[in-house]
Amino acid sequence: MAITEGIPIKDMIHAKPYAGSKGAVLIGPNCPGVITPEEAKVGIMPGFVFRKGNVGIVSKSGTLTYEAADQVVKAGLGISTAIGIGGDPIIGTSTREAVQMFMEDPETEGIVMIGEIGGQYEADAARWIREGGNKKPVVGFIAGQTAPPGRRMGHAGAIIGGKEDTAEAKMRIMKECGLQVVASPADIGAVMKEAVR
């Protein structure tokens, strides 16, 4: 679990394959960690926000992980596991890999996928879901909908570099791939509650 942010890309180019060669799963860098409520927490997530349940959360943003968990709990559901994958340009576990873990997890019935501007992680995950990975409902949200092109927002990886890196493009791709996309994190819980009925 690499909570530290801003690890040099040159270092991550070596660290990521090295961890994989040892059979380790690297989460982060620049992540809040992983929590399975009432079982285990590794990282800096505020455990009191999370209640045991059947919704998995994968998010680039630590703060939005907590907000999504709160919205899911307020909707009368709970969290199976939440994975904050991190927001640096190179991270150990991608959105697609985390979504796949949730698709294969018998305790997870629905998935919240939170992304942000920059990079291809969300588009890759959405396309993987469409191409046969979609066994469970997925509610998606993309942060940075008002970000100006070319400006980094928050995380080191959150910079619009191509036409599919914008929030609008990612939300469109997610919808085209069958995900239920919300415009505000405040809607995550209600939409997920309907999705897992």
Angle between helix 62-74 and 188-195 (nearest 10) = 60
Could you give the CA distance from residue 75 to residue 107 in angstroms, rounded to a whole number?
18
DSSP assignment of 58-127 equals: EES-HHHHHHHHHHHHHTT--EEEEEE---SSS-SS-HHHHHHHHHT-TT-SEEEEEEESSSSHHHHHHH
Structure token digits, residue 173: 């791709």
- Read off the pLDDT band of 167 (50, 70, 90): confident
Helix, strand, coil content of the chain in percent (nearest 5): 35, 20, 45
Band the pLDDT of 166: cuts 50, 70, 90. Answer: confident
Point out the catalytic residue in the list 155, 180, 181, 188. 155
Task: Give percent of the chain above pLDDT 90.
Answer: 79
Cβ neighbours of residue 184 under 8 Å, at least 6 residues apart? 141
Whether residue 14 lies in the annotated active site: no
Mean pLDDT, the chain, integer: 91
pLDDT in tens, 117-161: 888 899 999 999 999 877 899 999 999 887 666 655 555 555 555
Give the C-alpha separation, 196 to 71, whole Å. 15
Does position 162 have pLDDT exceeding 80, yes or no? no
Of 32, 76, 34, nearest to 54 (Cα)?
76
Q: Which of 69, 87, 40 is nearest to 139 (CA)?
A: 69
Asked whether 61 and 155 are in contact (CB, 8 A), the reply is: yes
Q: Specify whether the CB–CB gap between 179 and 138 falls below 8 A.
A: yes
